[in-house]
Amino acid sequence: MDLKKNNTTATNLQNLILEGKKILMKKPEGSYFIQIRFNFNDVDGTRKWRVILDGLEFHVSEIMLSVPCKTESEFSEDMGGYKHHIIAEAKEVVFEKLIAYIN
């Protein structure tokens, strides 16, 4: 699924994820650049993790990784400190029942 950075599309997908729907995102060529960060704004456990696919952010409660990954830190001037996240590349991401399966 080739997504444009369109807030409406991302919002609609996020709503389907929160409903527990199964969503398959598969890149026909290349792979998604994925960043995973903890979501400090989660209030009920359904949005503990921020999964960022090529710049589009989605919230999930759990993540299952079956691809190589590593940690990365980057300085954020807005925060005046470092952001820490896990990064990976994957050809496919499946969202189901608030879980992101990164393959």
At residue 81 the predicted structure's pLDDT band, cuts being 50, 70 and 90, is very high
Q: What is the pLDDT of residues 12-30, one digit of tens each?
A: 899 999 999 999 999 889 9
3-state secondary structure at position 44: coil
At residue 7 the predicted structure's pLDDT band, cuts being 50, 70 and 90, is low
pTM assigned to the model:
0.86
Which backbone phi and psi does 7 adopt, to 5 degrees? -60, -35
pLDDT at 1 over 80: no
In sequence order, what are the residues at sequence separation of 6 or more whose Cβ sits closer than 8 angstroms to the Cβ of residue 51?
Answer: 34, 35, 36, 57, 58, 59, 60, 63, 93, 100, 102
User: How much of the chain exceeds pLDDT 70, in percent?
Assistant: 92
**Largest Cα–Cα distance of the chain, in whole Å?**
38
- Bridge partner residues of 25 (DSSP): 93
pLDDT at 79 over 70: yes
